[in-house]
Structure 1
C-alpha cells in the first residue's frame, strides 16, 4: 500500500567519500551530546514559558497599563457561570484581549525563532557550530532574564522576540553538531534524545508550575528560572570542541569566492529545503496553531472552576507522553522507514485531535487522554525531525538547511496563529471549533511526505 514511500530520487551530495580523519574522542563526543541535549532541554522550558505564562503575564501587564481593572476582572471571572448582560460582555471582552496578546506572544516566539534559526544557522556554517551554539544559549538566557523587568505587554513582547532569536539558533547548530560527531549507528538514539530533551524541559517547567502556580500575580519567577542556561552557554564556548566535519569542510572552502559558496536557496538544494520546510511546518502548525490552544482553554476553564493548576497538569500530561514518543522516534524511523513513520504519525495526530476537540472539554478525564495522545504524536514528530533533517543537506550548508527547514516553518505557523486570532473573534472564543479546523493540517502531512527523498544511505561523518 505504501510502496510509493520507497521510491527515491538522487540526493544532492557534495561531501567527499573520504573518512574524516580527525574524529573526536569519546569524552568529547559525549560532551557535545550533553551540550546539545541541555540546550534543547532549556528550549523546551522556553516553549512552555510561552504557553503557560504569557496569558497570565498579559493580564497582569494589561492591569498595570489600565487596559483592564484587574480586581473587577478577578471578581467577574470567579462568577463567570452566573454572569449575564453587561458583566458577561465585559468579561468576554477582556478575555478576548488577553487571548489576542497570547497569540502575539506565540508569534513573537515563532518569528524570533525563525529569524534566529536562519541567522545563527548561517553563522554556524561560516564560523563554527560550537561558537554559535554557545552564543545562542547565552542570548536567549540573557534576554529572558531582562523580561523580568517588563512593565507593559509591548515591552515583554519585544524582549520575548529578542530571546527567541537565540532559541531558534540553538536548535540547528546543536543538531548539526551532534549529527556530525557520531557514527551513523548512534544517530537514531541521539536524535531521539535531542527530541526528548525539549519534552523533558516542558515537563520540568510544567512540574514547577504545578508546585508554584503561574498566575497574573506570580509569573515573573519563570523568567528568572530560565536564565540558568547562561552557565551552559558559557561552558560550551570555553570547553566544547568544534565538529571535525565542519573544520574539514571549512578548510576546503578557504579562498573560494563568495559567489561560488554553496546555498540552500540555489539549484539542487532548493527542492530539499522546500521539502524540509513542509515536513517541519506540519507538526509546528499542529502544535502551536492547534494543540497549544488547549492550554489557554484549560486556563480559562480552570480559573472559573477553581482549579488554577489545571493548565499545569495539562502541560505535564502532554509532555510526559511526548518524552516517550521522542525517545522511540529515531529507532522507529529506522525500523519502519523514515517516510512511512511520518505518514502514520500524521494519521494518528489527525484522529486524536479531531476526537479531543469534538468530544471533550477541559476538566474531563477524556480531555486529559486526548492531550496525552497528542503529546505522544508530538514527541514522535520532534524526535523524527532531528534525525531526518540533517540527512537532507551536505556539511557545508547543514546548519543553514536545518535552520531554514525548521524555523521557516515557524513563520508559516505564526501566520496561522494570526488567522487563528481572527477565528477567535469569528467563533466568539470557542477553542473547540478553532481546534477542529486547525488540526486538519495533519492531513497535509500524510500527503507531503510522499515527496520526500530517501536519505537512509547518507553517511553523516563523511
Structure 2
C-alpha cells in the first residue's frame, strides 16, 4: 500500500505532505464551526435556522472558490494558487474569532469557505501533475484521508478549549487557532515546485479568468464536463442527504443520541479515514470507473439497510462504520479521475468545476429529504434520496472513459523529462 511512497522522489513526497497538511488544516478550520455551533447560538442569540445558514453559505462559497481557484491555477500556476488559498482561509478563520454579531460571522465564514474550496482544487491538480502515473490514485486517495486527521484535530482543540475556558471565549480561541495553517505557506514556498508544463505546438492567446472558466464548455470537452458535473452531484448529494439528516433520524425515529458522544464521533472519523485509504488502494488496482461504481453500489445497499431494516441499537452502531466508510470512498476517487479527463490548459478549471458544481447542486438533496418526510418516514426519505444520488454517480461514471494509467499530457515528470510528447496537450488513450 505504501510502497509508492518509498519509491517516490523527494519532490513527490514533499508535494504529498504539503497537500496532505493543507487538506487536513482545511478540515481543522471547517469542522471547528460544527463543534462550536451551540456556543455561537448562545453568544449571538440566534436560532438553528440562522446557524444552518452559516453552513450553507460556507458550502456555496467554497464551491465558487474551488471553481475560480481551479481556473486561476491554470493561469498563474498550481503552487502560487495553493499559497494564496491557504493564506486566505487561514486569515479569515482567524478573523472569525473577532466577529461581534451574526452578520459579521456570516460574511467572514463565507470568505473562509471561498479559500478552503480553492485550496482543494489547486492542491488536487498539483498532486496529479507531480505524482507518477502508476501511483497517482493511491497518493491522491491518501491525501483525501487528511480530512479525517483534521477533523480529529478539531475535536481535540474543541475539548481543550471548552475544558479550560468559558464557553463564549472558547469558541473564539478555536477560530484564532485557525491561523496556524498560514505557517504551511513557508513549507509550500521552500519545498514544492511548479510542475513543468510544455508549451503547445501553437501558442494560444491569453484569456481572462472568466474566459478560462468558460473553456470547460468548449465542444471538445463539453460531454466530459456535463457527465463530470452529474458525477460530482451524485457523490456529494448522497453524502449530504445522509449526513445532514442522520442525527435527526437517530434521535427522532430511533430514539438514540449517540452522535453527541465522543465514542460515536470517533467511529465516524475512523470510518472516513479507512474509506479514503481503501479507495486509494483500489483506484490503481481496479481502475477509476469500477472503484466509484463499487463504492456507490455499496453506499446504496448500506444506507437502505441502515434506515429501513428493523435493526437493534447495537446493530445500527456497528453498521454506522461501513456507512461512513463507503460514503468517504467516492470523494477520494474524484481527484484522480477528474484530473485525468482534462488537457493541461484547462485541467485546473475542469477539476474545480466538476467537483464544486456537485457541491452546489447537492444542496438540494437535504431539502428534498425534508420535503419528502412530510409524506413518509424520515428514514424512508433519506434512503430514497441517497439511493437516487448514488445511482446518478454510478450511471455517470460508467459513461466516462477509464483513465487508470494515463500520463498527463502537457506536464514534464521530474523523473522522466523525456517521457512527454511536447507537441500535444491531450491525454493518452485509456488503458483497460
Shorter-chain TM-score category?
Answer: 0.7 to 0.9
Match of 1:325 in 2: 275
Match of 1:26 in 2: 9
Structure 1 regions of 5+ residues with no counterpart?
A: 1-24, 68-96
Match of 1:344 in 2: 294
CA distance in structure 1 between the partners assigned to 2:251 and 2:101 by the alignment: 21
CA distance in structure 2 between the partners assigned to 1:382 and 1:446 by the alignment: 13
CA distance in structure 2 between the partners assigned to 1:308 and 1:325 by the alignment: 19
1:439 paired to 2:386? yes
User: Looking at CA atoms only, which structure, 1 or 2, has the larger radius of gyration?
Assistant: 1
Q: How does 1:29-428 map to 2 (within 5 A)?
A: 29-54=12-37, 56-63=38-45, 97-98=47-48, 100-209=49-158, 218-237=170-189, 239-245=191-197, 248-249=198-199, 256-258=205-207, 263-295=215-247, 309-310=260-261, 312-359=262-309, 364-420=313-369, 426=374
Relative to 1, partners in 2 of residues 1:114 and 1:160: Cα closer, same or farther, differing over 3 Å? same
CA positional deviation for 1:288 = 2.2
CA positional deviation for 1:399 = 0.9
Relative to 1, partners in 2 of residues 1:437 and 1:207: Cα closer, same or farther, differing over 3 Å? farther
Question: What is the TM-score when the length of structure 1 is the normalising length?
Answer: 0.76
- Asked whether the 8 Å contact 2:12–2:130 carries over to 1, the reply is yes
CA positional deviation for 1:252 = 6.7
- Structure 1 window deviating more from structure 2 (315-324 vs 437-446): it is 437-446
CA distance in structure 2 between the partners assigned to 1:349 and 1:127 by the alignment: 39
Question: What is the TM-score when the length of structure 2 is the normalising length?
Answer: 0.80
- Asked whether the 8 Å contact 1:420–1:434 carries over to 2, the reply is yes
CA positional deviation for 1:115 = 0.7
String of CA shifts for 1:160-198, please: whole Å, max 9, x gaps: 111011111111211111111222122122112111112
CA positional deviation for 1:213 = 5.8
CA distance in structure 2 between the partners assigned to 1:169 and 1:385 by the alignment: 16
String of CA shifts for 1:312-331, please: whole Å, max 9, x gaps: 44332122122112112133
CA positional deviation for 1:253 = 7.2
Structure 2 SS opposite 1:111:
helix
CA distance in structure 2 between the partners assigned to 1:408 and 1:205 by the alignment: 27
Question: What is the root-mean-square deviation in Å for CA atoms of aligned residues?
Answer: 3.4
Q: How many residues in Structure 1 have an aligned counterpart in Structure 2? A: 396
String of CA shifts for 1:345-370, please: whole Å, max 9, x gaps: 11111122223233589x93333323
CA positional deviation for 1:124 = 0.6
Structure 2 regions of 5+ residues with no counterpart?
A: 1-7, 412-419, 421-432
- Asked whether the 8 Å contact 1:360–1:366 carries over to 2, the reply is no
